[in-house]
Homo-oligomer: A and B are copies of this chain.
């Protein structure tokens, strides 16, 4: 077996690159910015990702899907729906660092149609996880699905506001309300 004297491991590397794409968008994330954030020269990035920017984006999306799966896992566990919702809310808060972190999904909104649709599965998984909790809390399925979507929208919008104005209060409120909004028997 060969030994690889890497200067930065794959996981933190991809996380750093994801942050740049999330903050500047796919087109705005120039190799210069990516290189700076990674601590690797442009040519070295091509050694890690021979497919160029597209492969970097694919890696970022794979990593996002992986992190989303962990983040949303409690939604599909057994147990009290309220507790599961609270745990998911806590992990979402961690993932987005209390609203400071920008969202890769939002960033891809400004890319080509092809790349824009790459984020859709993440969004669906998110809404589905919320809906699963609501269903377990006794909410009718049709309404549970709507609530899931709407609460994802609430969080995404709060992230946009945080990015634009720096005000993280809407995100904090959305996180704080999440469990109640998912499990409440009445309308949202």
| Residues in B neighbouring A164, C-beta threshold 8 A | 105, 108-109, 116-117, 119-120, 123
| Chain B, residue nearest A103 (CB) | B160
Given contacts A120-B165, A146-B173, A153-B154, contact A160 B27 (CB under 8 A): no
- Report the Cα distance A102→B177, complex, angstroms: 27
- Report the Cα distance A16→B123, complex, angstroms: 29
Copy tally for this chain in the complex stands at 2
* Interface check A8, CB cutoff 8 A: no
* Interface check A98, CB cutoff 8 A: no
Does B161 contact A152, Cβ atoms closer than 8 Å?
Answer: yes
Given contacts A110-B110, A160-B105, A164-B109, contact A154 B152 (CB under 8 A): no
* Interface check A149, CB cutoff 8 A: yes
Min CB–CB distance A166 → chain B (angstroms): 8
* Interface check A155, CB cutoff 8 A: yes
| Residues in B neighbouring A152, C-beta threshold 8 A | 157, 161
| Chain B, residue nearest A102 (CB) | B109
- A102-139, CB under 8 A of B: which get 1 and which 0? 10011111110000110110011000000000000000
Main secondary structure of the interface of A (DSSP, over half): helix
Does A153 contact B174, Cβ atoms closer than 8 Å?
Answer: yes
| Residues in B neighbouring A185, C-beta threshold 8 A | none
Min CB–CB distance A30 → chain B (angstroms): 9
- A1-38, CB under 8 A of B: which get 1 and which 0? 00000000000000000000001110110000000000
| Residues in B neighbouring A188, C-beta threshold 8 A | 177, 188
Does A23 contact B110, Cβ atoms closer than 8 Å?
Answer: yes
Task: Mark A residues whose CB is within 8 Å of B.
Answer: 23-25, 27-28, 102, 105-111, 116-117, 119-120, 123-124, 146, 149-150, 152-161, 163-165, 167, 169-170, 173-174, 177, 188
